Structure 1
Amino acid sequence: MILEHEHRVNLHPGGSFLFVIVRQKFWIIGARPIFLKDAKVRKPRISKGYICLFVCMVTSAIHLELVTDLTTETFLAAFRRFISLRGKCSKIYSDNGTNFIAAKRSLSEMQELLSSQRHKDIVTSTLADDGIHIQAMLQGFWKKWHQEYLTTLQQRPKWTNSTPNLSIGDVVLVKESSTPPASWHIARVMETYPGEDNLVRAVKLKTSTGEMTRPITKIAVLPSSETVFQGGPGCS
């Protein structure tokens, strides 16, 4: 509480200057080191810990990561945790600590390794020999074949070929999605309803059970032959 109070009153000074101000009146034991317990046991081993501070230079937002030592590996682990939560940074500026310099060198070497064509070829060849990401290649090939090639084989003649308009007296089958085609009712066209383009969009039908109006997408035209249609009950 004392540190927080002095920090606010003195307009957020740096760490060293804040301790100079506080120690004029108080001597806080253990104010600067952070100690970590290795396990939740009766007598755990206590080791020194540190805080890795990330500051956004655009919004002044602060992100804290607890680290166990000042090694490059520990910083890289903290950095990976940071970007997993906050996203990747376009630029990073450090205070030139030795672990930061070594981490930059490690990241640069890692980036150079991953971007090299030789590395990609060796990894791809090794994984392929063990049968590994092959499944991903197979799925990628199937997706490309399904989306790019298969669709070119599907014919859609109803959008390119013109068909004669339905006329009064035509014999049709009334499509029903809940019944098989063999159970569809036979009907005769009593009236037609063309659109503004003079193409028939709907028709009035007469069946053995009564009359109905259906769009042309819900009927199937039968050949106009007396040998095919013998005039069912109610359709004369």
Structure 2
Amino acid sequence: MGQLPPPRVAPSRAFSNTGIDYFGPVWFRRVQQRRSPPVKGYAALFICLSTKAIHLELVSDLTTASFMAALRRFMARRGRPHDFYSDNATNFVGARNELIALRRLFQSQQHQYEVSRSLSEYNVAWHFIPPRSPHFGGLWETGVKSAKRHLLRVIGKAILTYEELTTLLAQIEACINSRPITPMSNDPNDLMPLTPGHFLIGQPLTSMPEPDLIALQVNRLSRWQHVQQLFQAFWRRWSTEYLSSLQQRTKWTVKSENLRVGTLVLLVEENQPPLQWRTGRVLELHPGGDGLCRVVTVKTSTGVFKRAINKLCILPIEN
């Protein structure tokens, strides 16, 4: 098991490094009229990689304009991130019918150009996880699971209006952001846990760097400094207690030898027809910061692909 990437462990403003995913579809009515036909929409989920805080936006359709509008609403409320992270569109291979249109949107050259051009104006970078490796995006996959569970429990088969559904998503967002992630202290009389919501209201979106105020007495601080001291205490708890729980390595504890360039491998593909064995040669290694290789580039008869090593089977060479 590898180490957590820097965006997961570095203290930063909430949503400085953000993962994004879609889930749905969700049905709603544009107006509150009985004969108004229901229309299909989607929910965009933004999750902070360090604090696991979540932001939900309702998207009315799968177009680049709606996608960029959701991004702008998110940045207007949560501040401008440094980096975005998302699934690669190839993760939707074999998905349900409602995700086929989402895959087409993400793979569209026009969509990628519009998103890159708009984000370049804000100096925001976009990163994709390796193709067909959804476990690299387990953070937002877990957030989608939690949000969908709350949504299905509340609405069931009811068809809400756009305003009602937007309100419901905001309440679900608040519910998820109020979940405890670690105790606030070891005091048995302290019943207040640390939640993602603490990091959302601890400082303004355009705050300036503050000096370390943890060691100062409260009676020596102004009201604003006291607020900053509380916020720094949240991060101290996050780094000493919650972060250490994320670093526990419960599987893949035995070190294996790295793949080598030229190794013959079998690609594990979803929905592969019988008697079809897709093989290839390792063309390039992409080692992590610890020197271990978890992603490689493979050359096959149909092209060159980047894959996680858990999607490859090494073929032994018989002498």
TM-score (norm 2): 0.24
Higher-Rg member (1/2)? 1
Higher relative contact order (CA 8 A, sep 6+): 2
